[in-house]
Chain A
Amino acid sequence: MVSRRQTQVIGLVMSIIVLVLLIWLPHHNGSTNTLRWAQVLYIGVAAMGLNLLTGYNGQVSIGHGAFFGVGAYTSALLMHNHGWSFLPTLLVAAPLCFLVGVLVGFPALRVKGLYLALVTLGLAVLFPDLTKKYVHATGGTNLVSLNRGELSPPAWVPTSVSAIGRDDQWAYYVCLGAAVVLVIAALLIVRSRFGRALIAVRDHESAAASVGINAARVKVMAFALSALYAGIAGSCSVLVTHLANAEKVQTFQLSIEFLVALVIGGTATVVGPLLGAWLVVTLQHWISDTLPQHVGSLGPLKRVLGDPAASPALFGIMLILFVFVLPDGVVGGFRRAWARFVRNRNQTPHHAPAPLAT
C-alpha cells in the first residue's frame, strides 16, 4: 500500500538527492556547463514566479521579462555605478520588483485572459524603451556591462574548491541558493491559506468572494509575488551573464521562455517550472550548438539548420509536440503514471458512493 505519507517521503528523499547532486555539480563540470546550470536555475525561479500568477491564480502574463529586467538592472546598476557587492542589491531589487508587481497588478484587475496577456505583452515592449530613456551606459546603449572586479564575490567566500573559477562558482551557488529558498517559499505559499485563496479565485471568483476572499487583493498579491520571483531571477542572471540587457527581442524572448518552461514542466506544480527550465535551456543548447555539429555531412540540411531562425522554429515545433503529448507538462504526466502505479499496487476498489450520491 502506497499512502499519501509515503509519497511525501519519496518526494522529500528525491529532492534531497537532487539538491546534493546540484551542490556537487561544479566539482564535476567545467565553467560553461556550470553556468548553463546556473541559467537553468534562474530561469526556473522566474518560471516558478510566473507559476504563482498563471498556474495557481489563472492570470496569464507574457511580460515577465520586464520584471526580470527590473531585477537585473537594479542589481547591475547598483554594482556598476555604486560599487555595491551583489547580495545587498537583492535587498533593493526584491522589494522594488514586488512594488512594480503591485503597480502592474492593479490595472490588471480590469482585464482577464487573452486581454491580460496582451496588456502584459505591452509591458515587455515598454520596458526596453524605459531603460533606453533612463540608462546611459558606455556607447550610448542601455546595456550595463560589468567587469570582473565589480562581479567578484565578497571576501568571506572561500577560494575555489572545484576546477572552475571562484567567480563562476559564486555565481552558480548564488543561483542555487536563491532557487532553494524560493522553492521552499513556493511550497509554503501554495499550501497556506493564501495559496488556497489563489486557487479558489482562479477556479471560481464569485464563490471565492462568497466565502470571504478579497479577490482583488489576492490577485494583486499574486502579481507582486510573481514579480518578486522574476526580479530575483533577473538579479541572479547578472552574475552569470555579466550584464543587464533589455533589447526588445531579449525581453520578449525571456517572457516566452518562462511561459514555455512553465507549460512544459507543468502548471500549478512546484517543481514543474524548474524541470521545464532545464528542458528549455537544454533543448535550446542542443538545437543551436549540438545539432548543427552532427548534421555537417548532410549538406542542404545544414544550410537550413544553420539559419538563425532555425533554432526558434525547431523550439516552437518541440513546444507544440509537448502540448499535444503531455498537455499537463512533465510533472502532470509523471503524476498520472504514478497514480496508475499506486492504484495497481493498492488493488483496493474505490469506496462505495456515499448515501446521497447518485
Chain B
Amino acid sequence: MVLLSVEDLLVTFGGVVAIADLSFTLDEGQICALIGPNGAGKTTLFNCVSRLYEPKSGRITFDGHELLRMPAYRIARLGIARTFQNLALFPALSVTDNVLVGGYAQGKVNAKRRAEARDILERLSLDHLADRPAVGLPYGTLKRIEIARALAGRPRLLMLDEPAAGLTHSEVDELSELVRALRDEFHLSVLLVEHHMAMVMSISDKVVVLDFGGKIAEGTPEETRANPRVVEAYLGAPAS
C-alpha cells in the first residue's frame, strides 16, 4: 500500500529550480533512500513534506491526506516525524523533555506517556542521560536523541536527514542495524536522505536518485547502482 506519494512537485527559490516535476511513492513498511549529489533537492523535499517550504505546484499525499493543504504543525498529528540534517534539538530541555516534546502531538502528558518516553530512551541506550540537559552531549548521542524525539511522536513515517553524517565507521554500521530494527519494532516506513552509500545500499528497499532537482533513477539498490545515469551523476560523464 502506498503511504506517501509525491506527484509533479515543483519547488523554486526566486527563479532557481530546486525540485523539478518530482514524482515517487513510498510503500508502507518500506525503507526508501533519497540520494544524489549535494544540491540535488533531497533536504528540500523533506522540508516540503514537513511544510516548512511551500512548493510552487504539485501534490504530496500521505495516507489519503493532502499535506500541502495543512500547516506545518498538523503534519506530526498524521504520523510523520523527522530528524534534521544539522541537529535541531532543544538544548535547554533535558533529554527526557526533548523526547516528551517529540510526543507533543499526542496530547496531554500522563504517566503512560512518560513511561513510553522512558522505553524509547532505553531502547536507544540513552536512559542514563535522561535527566541531563541536551546541551553539551557528544554529537553521535545528540543524533540518537533526535531519533528518540522523532519516535516519541509515534510516527508511521520516519524521515531521517543524513543520520550517518559525522559518525565513525562502526557507528554507521550500528546505525544501519538500528534503523532496520526500529522499522520492524515500531512498524515504521522510513524515508532516508543519506550520502553514506554503504548504508544506503545495505538497508534500503528502494532508492530514488535525484540530480539537479529531478529524478534520474528509481529502483532497488542493485538496479540503481547499475544505472549509467546514476554513475554519470556521481562520477561525471565518461570522456569520449
Chain A residues near B (Cβ < 8 Å): 4, 193, 196-197, 199-200, 202-204, 206-215, 268, 351, 353-358
Is A203 within 8 A of B91, CB to CB? yes
Interface band, chain B: 35 or more
Is B125 within 8 A of A354, CB to CB? yes
Is A207 within 8 A of B88, CB to CB? yes
List, sorted by A's number, 22 A–B pairs whose CB atoms are closer than 8 Å: A4-B131, A193-B109, A199-B90, A200-B101, A200-B104, A203-B91, A203-B92, A203-B93, A206-B52, A206-B84, A207-B88, A207-B89, A208-B101, A210-B72, A211-B102, A212-B77, A351-B128, A351-B129, A353-B138, A353-B141, A356-B125, A357-B138
What is the bound-complex CA distance between A209 and B166, given in angstroms? 25
**Nearest chain B residue, comparing its CB with the CB of A203:** B90
Contact of B101 among A211, A353, A356 (CB under 8 A): A211
In order of increasing CB-CB distance, the 3 nearest A-B pairs are A212-B105, A212-B76, A207-B88
Report A-chain residues with C-beta under 8 Å of the C-beta of B175: 356
Is B125 within 8 A of A355, CB to CB? yes
Is A196 within 8 A of B100, CB to CB? yes
Report B-chain residues with C-beta under 8 Å of the C-beta of A353: 138, 141
Chain B residues near A (Cβ < 8 Å): 50-52, 71-77, 81-82, 84, 88-93, 97, 100-105, 108-109, 125-126, 128-129, 131, 137-141, 143-144, 149, 153, 166-168, 171, 174-175, 178
Is B171 within 8 A of A207, CB to CB? no
Report B-chain residues with C-beta under 8 Å of the C-beta of A211: 76, 81, 101-105, 149, 153
What is the bound-complex CA distance between A121 and B91, given in angstroms? 30
Is A215 within 8 A of B73, CB to CB? yes
Is B138 within 8 A of A358, CB to CB? yes
* Seed contacts A214-B71, A354-B125; 8 additional CB < 8 Å A-B pairs: A200-B104, A207-B89, A209-B52, A211-B103, A211-B104, A356-B171, A358-B166, A358-B171
What is the bound-complex CA distance between A133 and B104, given in angstroms? 46
Closest CB of chain A to B40's CB: distance in Å? 21
Report A-chain residues with C-beta under 8 Å of the C-beta of B88: 204, 206-207, 210
Report B-chain residues with C-beta under 8 Å of the C-beta of A202: 92
Is A358 within 8 A of B139, CB to CB? yes
Closest CB of chain A to B76's CB: distance in Å? 3
Closest CB of chain B to A284's CB: distance in Å? 31
Closest CB of chain A to B69's CB: distance in Å? 16
Q: Contacts A209-B52, A210-B82, A211-B101; is A200 near B90 (CB within 8 Å)? A: yes
Is A209 within 8 A of B72, CB to CB? yes
Report A-chain residues with C-beta under 8 Å of the C-beta of B168: 358
Is B73 within 8 A of A213, CB to CB? yes
**Nearest chain A residue, comparing its CB with the CB of B135:** A203
Closest CB of chain A to B113's CB: distance in Å? 9
Closest CB of chain A to B228's CB: distance in Å? 37
Closest CB of chain B to A58's CB: distance in Å? 10
Report A-chain residues with C-beta under 8 Å of the C-beta of B149: 211
Q: Which of B91, B108, B140 has the most chain A CB atoms inside 10 A of its CB?
A: B140
What is the bound-complex CA distance between A25 and B90, given in angstroms? 41
Report A-chain residues with C-beta under 8 Å of the C-beta of B75: 210, 212
What is the bound-complex CA distance between A211 and B91, given in angstroms? 16
**Nearest chain A residue, comparing its CB with the CB of B175:** A356
Report A-chain residues with C-beta under 8 Å of the C-beta of B171: 356, 358
Contact of B93 among A4, A196, A215 (CB under 8 A): A196
**Nearest chain A residue, comparing its CB with the CB of B149:** A211
**Nearest chain A residue, comparing its CB with the CB of B106:** A212
**Nearest chain B residue, comparing its CB with the CB of A4:** B131
Closest CB of chain B to A220's CB: distance in Å? 14
What is the bound-complex CA distance between A196 and B117, given in angstroms? 15
